[in-house]
Chain A
Amino acid sequence: KAGVTQTPRYLIKTRGQQVTLSCSPISGHRSVSWYQQTPGQGLQFLFEYFSETQRNKGNFPGRFSGRQFSNSRSEMNVSTLELGDSALYLCASTRQGEQFFGPGTRLTVL
């Protein structure tokens, strides 16, 4: 069974731009969570989707948003990028409470 996939793997953007990241969960998994990892703040929860509904949201500004499609694939969007948004963005899909992570998207904001 294929694992969690994320695209793109690397991304370079400039301040003020917006970006969309994609995550495809393991087949059959309906819950997708997103996390941001930075050297200063560590791994922080962004939001979680289940059956196209956002069930939980972390403490991030409204510039961070997401959605989930009927096939469970999820996207997250960051608008008006700031330098501090440079990070590794990880998504995870969940089976019976256990989360499985994708390889991440490394975003650099210049």
Chain B
Amino acid sequence: GIQVEQSPPDLILQGGANSTLRCNFSDSVNNLQWFHQNPWGQLINLFYIPSGTKQNGRLSATTVATERYSLLYISSSQTTDSGVYFCAVEGGSQGNLIFGKGTKLSVKP
């Protein structure tokens, strides 16, 4: 099946810094989503981005489907950005998202 690898596994930033999270996947995908998991466990949708570039405030994402990777950019990080960021892809099986292991981000004030 499709493999999803995220890097780095852990990231510590000073508030105000920028960061780039990477997601590599092993095969063609139909969909790709980025999520932020809050401390209570809920997955918050950040981007639905099977290809191309999108921006939402301080966050942006780019997926290069032909090269099988996606990047999530966080600019001017804030303590509220702390948490785990997941990349998930859907391959040939509908409704089945395959998740990476996540990047744990800690932003210090």
Contact = CB atoms under 8 A, between A and B. Distances in A.
Interface of A: 31, 33, 35, 37, 42-45, 48, 50, 55-56, 58, 88, 90, 92, 94, 97-104, 106
Interface residues of B, number: 23
Contact of B33 (A33, A98, A106): A98
A48 B33 CA distance: 17
A81 to B, nearest CB: 20
A104 B86 contact: no
Interface of B: 30-31, 33, 35, 40-43, 45, 48, 50, 86, 88, 90, 93-99, 101-102
Given A42-B101, A97-B30, A97-B90, A33 B41 contact: no
Contacts of B40: 103
A94 B102 contact: no
Given A97-B31, A98-B33, A103 B96 contact: no
A88 B97 contact: no
A45 B45 contact: no
Contact of A48 (B35, B48, B86, B94): B94
Given A97-B30, A97-B48, A99-B33, A31 B41 contact: no
A96 B40 CA distance: 27
B97 to A, nearest CB: 6
A37 B100 CA distance: 12
Contact of A56 (B31, B33, B95, B102): B95
